[in-house]
Homo-oligomer: A and B are copies of this chain.
Amino acid sequence: MADDLILLSDGGGGERMMDLVRREILARFGPADGSGELARLADAARIEPACRSGRSPGAPLAFTTDSYVVQPLEFPGGDIGRLAISGTVNDLACLGARPVALSLALILEEGLERALLGRILDSAAAAAREVGAAVVCGDTKVVERGSADGLFINTSGIGVIETGRRLGAEQIRPGDKVLVSGTVGDHGIAVMSRREGLRFEAAVQSDVAPLWPLAEAILAASPNLRALKDPTRGGLAAALNELAEAAAVRMRIDEAAVPVRPAVAGACEVLGLDVLNVANEGKFVVVAPADEAEAVLRAMRRHPLGREAAVIGEVLEGTARGPRVTLRTRIGGERVLEMPYGEDLPRIC
């Protein structure tokens, strides 16, 4: 009977959500043969608008959308406004696309404080300015008290892939190196701490940031860059599993190499969470050829958004069966890093 109704875990970024998306969305909107941009389930779609009149279609574009339902609306280090701009800019950046045009659609609950809305919009505007992206269109709806949770924001975005380069899972090869641009778990723990009023609140700030400038530095450092991915819902574990699955490879990650702030590690212990499943909103997973990994690492560490970047693992040949991602643990063992199933932390973005 559970399958008759939508559950919270259907939106958690894990196995259950992938199943919902495949059964309800791809089955209806993808081409019958399972191909097409939508079926790639990438952070953004690559489109090259055809033009019947024969005018040149220009550089390829990236197009992406995300709705933001985070609770609370303001949290340590950010708010839903900064999150909505950053999340969409970062999805575009994952395709190597400079953000050029953003949309901003608000669903407001009757009774929302205008002062709070004002602070959130100030924050969104500042985030857009940080990366030179213009909000060019929008929409405003108001629903009755009790019909929404204060404020939901949808931002969609168009980016230009100026280099024309193709980034994505399908570029990944055995022997490539896997990097992360900084500490993991900060966003999820910051939101959770505010929500639960936990005592570690002061120590953990969300990492929410628009990352296009960092992506630009990585692109410049790695002419054969394979893939960028932002490990949001489902955390690093979901991002690595999605990449490995789509690329039909395996990955081996070195647990000790993954940067984690002590306060975040402590909070995860208290909450019984695996930090590798916790959401990030200002980080990239980077896959680069082995001989370009050092240059990527240096470029990230030189950048304010990537000071704590690290090489965390490598890409191995795929196998027909068996786990996609394994973790070499601190004590020298090896365990499977599974795709999270449902939802450790609901309403995190």
Contacts and interface: CB of A to CB of B under 8 A. Distances in A.
Interface of A: 3-12, 17, 20-21, 24-25, 28-29, 36-38, 44-45, 47, 49-53, 55-59, 61, 63-69, 100-101, 103-115, 117-118, 121-122, 124-125, 128, 134-144, 146-149, 152, 154, 156, 158, 160, 162-164, 346-347
A131 B110 CA distance: 35
Main secondary structure of the interface of A (DSSP, over half): mixed
Contacts of A117: 6, 24
12 contacts: A4-B113, A4-B115, A6-B117, A11-B143, A25-B140, A37-B134, A37-B136, A51-B58, A65-B154, A65-B156, A67-B154, A148-B152
Contacts of A107: 67, 69, 107, 152
B58 A140 contact: no
A21 to B, nearest CB: 6
Contacts of A8: 110, 142-144
B61 A125 contact: no
A144 B8 CA distance: 7
Nearest to A42: B137
A9 to B, nearest CB: 8
A41 to B, nearest CB: 9
A5 B112 contact: yes
A131 to B, nearest CB: 14
A222 to B, nearest CB: 18
Given A10-B108, A45-B101, A67-B107, 19 more contacts: A4-B113, A6-B110, A6-B112, A6-B113, A11-B142, A24-B121, A25-B138, A28-B121, A37-B137, A53-B59, A56-B58, A63-B136, A63-B137, A65-B139, A67-B141, A107-B107, A139-B154, A144-B346, A147-B149
A10 B143 contact: no
A49 B38 contact: no
Contacts of A115: 4
Nearest to A156: B156
A100 B148 contact: no
A6 B116 CA distance: 11
Contact of A142 (B6, B63, B124): B6
A20 to B, nearest CB: 7
Contact of A118 (B12, B24, B45, B160): B24
A79 B163 CA distance: 42
Nearest to A57: B58
Contacts of A110: 5-8
